[in-house]
């Protein structure tokens, strides 16, 4: 297994935010929302007419996708990066979802919300940005309502450099050099399934709820 190499916790330069926003996340976002809705249905968690918290929302593409598919769901979409949120505001306005998606600049490790405030807490690709992810996972569990859903997905650290390069070449073949570098750095900063299982077990969740769900992703889906 490659040694984890941390990347900056917050992508908060206009250049980094723009490079991220130019990447094609459409299929990954659709799959995330599809799997989220499947998990919610299997756990009998109703996401209609409730507020969902999205941690590390980036440019808010997943909240937009979720609201397009769930016409009464509301999302509190938060990120620590002002540059990301500026692009997110434009995306949300363009989608016509300003009345249902609320953007806030928030540190996922110190959430300003009360216990059990949200019916679901979701996140795509925040964990690999955090040097100590345990605090953010604990906060996510804290603000999820009893019986609510915690749904996290992130990149999976490859076993070796050759596998990392293969994944970059497969999924970022048409990306520019900056985007390829950002993707490679994110893979190198990601956690293994075993490492995530250890984190959720420390929070008294079933570690087996963390599974590898693609050649480059793990997913944690659990009822609080």
pLDDT at residue 21, rounded to an integer = 67
What's 85's domain CATH number?
3.40.50.150
Burial level of 113, CB count in 10 A (0-12/13-18/19+)?
middle
CA 144 to chain centre: 16
133 assigned to some structural domain: yes
pLDDT at residue 24, rounded to an integer = 63
202 assigned to some structural domain: yes
174 assigned to some structural domain: yes
In angstroms, rounded to a whole number, what is the distance separating the alpha carbons of residues 172 and 24?
9
Q: Which long-range contacts (CB under 8 A, 24 or more apart) does 94-102 make?
A: 95/64, 95/67, 95/68, 97/63, 97/64, 97/67, 97/68, 100/67, 100/73, 100/74, 100/75, 101/60, 101/63, 101/64, 101/67, 101/74, 101/75, 101/77, 102/74, 102/75, 102/76, 102/77
144 assigned to some structural domain: yes
Q: How confident is the model at residue 8 (pLDDT cuts 50, 70, 90)?
A: confident
Q: For the chain, what percent of residues have pLDDT higher than 70?
A: 94
CB atoms within 10 A of CB 34: 12
148 assigned to some structural domain: yes
Which residues, other chains included, contact 139 with Cβ-Cβ below 8 Å and sequence gap of 6+?
108, 109, 110, 111
Condensed to tens digits (0 to 9), the pLDDT of residues 9-27 reads 766 667 776 667 666 678 8
- Say how many domains are in the chain: 1
Range of the domain at 212: 14-223
pLDDT at residue 15, rounded to an integer = 74
6 assigned to some structural domain: no
173 assigned to some structural domain: yes
In angstroms, rounded to a whole number, what is the distance separating the alpha carbons of residues 64 and 108?
20
3 assigned to some structural domain: no
Instruction: Give the mean pLDDT of the chain.
Output: 94
Which residues, other chains included, contact 28 with Cβ-Cβ below 8 Å and sequence gap of 6+?
124
Q: Please check the confidence at residue 199 and state whether its pLDDT lies above 70.
A: yes
pLDDT at residue 179, rounded to an integer = 87
């Amino acid at each position: 297994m490659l040694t984890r190499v941390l990347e900056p916790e917050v992508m908060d330069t206009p250049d980094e935010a723009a490079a991220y926003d130019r990447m094609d996340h459409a299929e990954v976002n659709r799959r995330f929302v599809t799997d989220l809705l499947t998990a919610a249905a299997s756990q009998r968690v109703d996401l209609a007419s409730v507020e969902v918290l999205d941690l590390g929302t980036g440019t808010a593409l997943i909240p937009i996708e979720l609201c397009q598919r769930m016409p009464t769901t509301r999302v509190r979409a938060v990120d620590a990066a002002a540059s990301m949120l500026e692009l997110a505001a434009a995306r949300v306005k363009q989608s016509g979802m300003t009345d249902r998606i609320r953007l806030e600049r928030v540190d996922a490790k110190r959430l300003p919300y009360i216990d059990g405030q949200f019916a679901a807490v979701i996140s795509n690709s925040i964990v690999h940005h955090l040097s100590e992810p345990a605090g953010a996972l604990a906060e996510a569990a804290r603000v999820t309502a009893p019986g609510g859903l915690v749904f996290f997905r992130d990149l999976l650290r490859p076993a070796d450099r050759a596998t990392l390069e293969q994944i970059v070449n497969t999924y970022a073949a048409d990306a520019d050099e900056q985007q390829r570098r950002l993707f490679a750095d994110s893979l190198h900063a990601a956690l293994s399934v075993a490492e995530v299982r250890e984190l959720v077990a420390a929070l008294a969740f079933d570690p087996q709820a963390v599974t590898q769900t693609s050649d480059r992703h793990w997913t944690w889906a659990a009822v609080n």
